[in-house]
Structure formats: structure tokens, C-alpha cells
A and B are shown apart, each in its own frame.
Chain A
């Protein structure tokens, strides 16, 4: 019983960055219909932007989150306008789009390394207090992060299911011609979605980075799990992405508690291949 409770508790804390990344990733996948591997760099970019504002400029950690998310969203829009949109206009097929996005990902990552070096960097956290919670320890930072992630996730999900931007996005994804005919500006909507998705990825990077280190490979190392969670949740389902991320987090925590941490990733990926294999018909 204790192990179940521990898994849920640790899993929730660990899943919080994954929730944000999966939410953003699923939006792009839903809107444009391809797996954007370069989304990994939105995650990394957010963390490095946070380093810039938090460590180099010296802003308070919680304050630095905002410009970091904006910077990551801006990069996401720039990549969309400069590379992905022209490629889609040229009629590049979904599989080739993925290969293209891998190219973009390598380009951005190694440009970053050339600029700032490959060393690990560390965010300056606000004062850490250990709190005890039903037999489990957590820091104030972890709990704040969890609350922040919950708030951001709620806001995103409200935006997708309740506002006109969300409606426009769903219209565009389902039938671009009809959406355009009914007066939706596809260009503006796409830019907004890529911005929001990029910002969500950036936030995910900040929260990943603050608990460990900021490295150039951090986005690349999580992207496969992000893809997996998104596909299992159903493409475009923001609520599903949240639930699947939590499930993945809890499962990871459980496997880590009973065996070795490394097995958690392997088991998740084997499960993923199994699910892909059993889901006939649909893309995933």
C-alpha cells in the first residue's frame, strides 16, 4: 500500500514537466498532422532561456519563467514560419516531415552547443525547504512547480476546449478548406498554436532543468516519451495528454521503486510498441 502511495506521489511530482511538454506537442501534431521531433528543442530552449534570465541577468527564478516561456514560443513560431510552413506548402509528406524535423532538431541543438557550450548548467533556485507530507518528503519548490503546472494545464485546456482559438484550431485540423471558407484565418491560428505549444515546451524545460541540470540533450532525451504519451492519449486530446503523462509518471516511479530506474524507460517503450501494434486502423 505504501509503495502504491509513494509511486503516485513521486509520479505526480516527476510527471509535471512531461504534462506540459505533451500538451504542447499534441497541439502541433493535431493541427499539422506530423510528429515534430524538433519540439525537443523548444524544451531545451526554454531551459536555456531560463538560464539567461535567471543566472546571467539574475532575475528571481519564478519571474524568469515568464520570459523563458515567451522566448521558447518565439523560437517555435520562427521555426514554423521559416521551415515547416514552407515545407508543408511544398507538399512534403508526413514521413518526410518527421525526417525534416529531425534535421531541424540537430541544427538547433548543435547551433546552441556552438553558442553556449555543452557543459551542464544549473538554475539558481529560490530557498529550498523540506516539507513532510503523509510520510513523503517534498521540497517547497517541487510542490510549487506542481501547483504551477496544474494551473498552466488548466489554462491550456480551457483555451483549447472553451475559447474561439481552440475552436478555430479544431476546425483547421479537421477540414482546412471548410475552415478557411468559414472565415478562419489559417495563418494567424497556426502561428498562435505554434507559439502556445512552444511556450508549453519551454515551461516543461524550465521545470525539468530546475530539478536536475540544464543540458543540450535534455529535450532530445525526453522527446520519445513525449511522443509516446501523446500517441497513447490520442492525438489532439489535451486532457488525454495530461492523464497519460500522469500514468507514465506513476508507472516510472513504481518501476523505479521496485527495480532499477533504467528499466522504467525500457518497460515504457516496450509497452508503447505493444500499444502501437494493437491499435489497428488509426495512425497510432
Chain B
């Protein structure tokens, strides 16, 4: 039961991360390949504040979130006005930098020996774990609520217009750079918040947790479910993390020597799925959703109008 709550909490965190990527990439068109960097920075900073500075866990999470949001804002200022490829490389580089710092700054993170133990809030209570899982769930529900409301709002339409034709949006007087920076900093901050929530789940932080597989899993879930659909992230995460990490790894009666093979088979299969979806169903299982569909002829005429 305890392990089931742990797996489910982790699954919900992945759903949250994928939903944030839906906002960044699906709505706004920012290909953030540094998910593990923002999530991991939030997790490690929470750990450092909580263990080394003895700050209460919830306060540690908030402080970590604030710091990562600021860093994301600064990073966004540097690179968000570049092309998608440049953003992708820069965010990937950012997550590598975090990975390096976590290992090299031993005085802060204890390096490969690990940082711990991080306890649940109200750890003395009998329902600490369950309560924390419910808290994580409500955070992710809030992320969904805000992102769906965002989509239908004025700001949401600005985001879609930036994704589809940034020059046009700028020429209509929208502050496209400022909007991108703001949304990027906020969503990366929430990634860090989810990272902070993961810290008590993991209890003991080691650099190995920040492997690029995290970013990859979030991306495969997003692309699989449908990057433009509001519920694509749920479908994607259930089909990937839910199927493999929970169903197969926990409940299939496999001999322990297969554990490593299953892990490799899983990542092979993720890669295969990603290739198949991009080739044959680029919009994902759920499609683009109501407002995600890009009317091709419409954009070309607006471009002509803008030119004339």
C-alpha cells in the first residue's frame, strides 16, 4: 500500500510536469528540453534548505520555487527570442549544468553520497503519506484548472498567436517577449514546485535522480497524448509511466534479474513510440483539441495581409 501511494504520487507529478510542458510547448511553442533541470533544481534546493538549513519542508519548497522561477526568468530573457532549435539546445544545456553542479558542489548537495533524509510534512501523523499524496493531487488538479482556464482566456489566445505567428502577434501590439518570459518563468517555477514535492517522496536525493530520462519521459507522454490537447498529458503519462513503472514493474511477477532488462526494454519502447507517433500521428492520440488546430489556409492569408 505504501509503495502504491508512492508510485501513484510520482505518476501524478509526471502528469503535472507534462501538463506544464503542454502549456510551454503545446500552447506557446517553447521546446523546453531541460525539464529535469527545473524539476531537479527545485528538488535539490528543497533538500538543501530542509536538511542543511533546517527550514520547514513547505517553506523550503516555496523558497526553491522562487529561486528557480528567477533563474528561469533570467534564462528566458537570454534565449526565448531565439529559434526553437536554439531554445531546445539552451534548455538542454541548462539541465546538464544543473546535473554537473549537483555532483560538483559537494559542500551543498553532498555529491554522489546523497542528501537526506527529507521527511513528509506532519511526518508524525499516521496519515502523512496519504495526506501528502492528496496534497500533490490537488496541486496537479490546480495546474489543470489554471491551464484550461488559461487556454480560454485572452492571454491564452495571445499564447496561441505567438506560437502560430509571432510577428503578427507583435504587430498587433502584444508584448510577445514579455509574455513568453512571464509564462516560461511561472511554468518552470511550478516544475520546481513539483520537484520540491518530489523531495519528501524520494527522501534521499542522489544525482542519479536527475537523469535525462525524466525529460524524455515527460516529452514522450506529451507527444503521445497530444501536445495541443488539454488532457493529452494524462493519457500520455498513464500509457507510459502508468503502464511500465506501475503495472509492469510493480505488479508483473518477474524474477528480479529481469529488472535491468525491463528498464532497457521500456526506454527502447518509449523511443519507438515517440518515433511512431511523430511519423504517423503528429498531433498525438487525442489530436489537437478545440483551439489547437492550426487552420493552414488561414495563417497563409493572414501572412499575406500582414505583408500587404
Contact = CB atoms under 8 A, between A and B. Distances in A.
B96 A103 contact: no
- With a 10 A CB-CB cut-off, give which of A90, A102, A113, A280 has the most chain B CB atoms: A102
A231 interface: yes
Interface residues of B, number: 42
B271 A105 contact: yes
Contact of A114 (B75, B264, B270, B278): B264
A224 B93 contact: yes
Interface in B139-173: none
Nearest to A34: B85
Contacts of A273: 75, 78-79, 90, 93-94
A152 interface: no
B219 A224 contact: no
Contacts of A2: none
B88 A106 contact: no
A114 B265 contact: yes
B294 to A, nearest CB: 11
Nearest to B31: A95
Nearest to B213: A106
B89 A35 contact: yes
A263 B90 CA distance: 18
A20 to B, nearest CB: 21
A103 B278 contact: yes
Contact of B278 (A96, A118, A260, A280): A96
B88 A284 contact: no
Contacts of B272: 103, 107
A269 B96 contact: yes
B268 A269 contact: no
B114 interface: no
A96 B278 CA distance: 7
B90 A99 contact: no
Contacts of B182: none
Given A103-B271, A103-B278, A265-B96, A98 B219 contact: no
Interface residues of A, number: 47
Contacts of A263: 100, 104
B103 A90 contact: no
Nearest to A107: B271
A96 B86 contact: no
A262 B104 contact: yes
B53 interface: no
Interface of chain A, helix or strand or loop or mixed? helix
Contacts of B78: 273-274, 276-277
A104 B89 contact: no
A158 to B, nearest CB: 29
Contact of A265 (B100, B260, B267): B100
A114 B258 CA distance: 11
B209 interface: no
A36 B161 CA distance: 28
Contacts of B219: 99, 102
A9 interface: no
A86 B88 CA distance: 23
Interface of A: 34-35, 83, 86-87, 90, 92, 94-96, 98-100, 102-111, 113-114, 118, 220, 224, 227-228, 231, 260, 262-263, 265-266, 269-270, 272-274, 276-277, 279-280, 283-284
Given A107-B272, A276-B86, A284-B85, 14 more contacts: A92-B282, A95-B88, A96-B282, A102-B219, A103-B274, A110-B268, A110-B271, A228-B93, A262-B103, A265-B100, A269-B97, A276-B90, A277-B79, A277-B82
Interface of B: 31, 75, 78-79, 81-86, 88-90, 92-94, 96-97, 100-101, 103-104, 212, 216, 219-220, 223, 260-261, 264-265, 267-268, 270-275, 278-279, 282
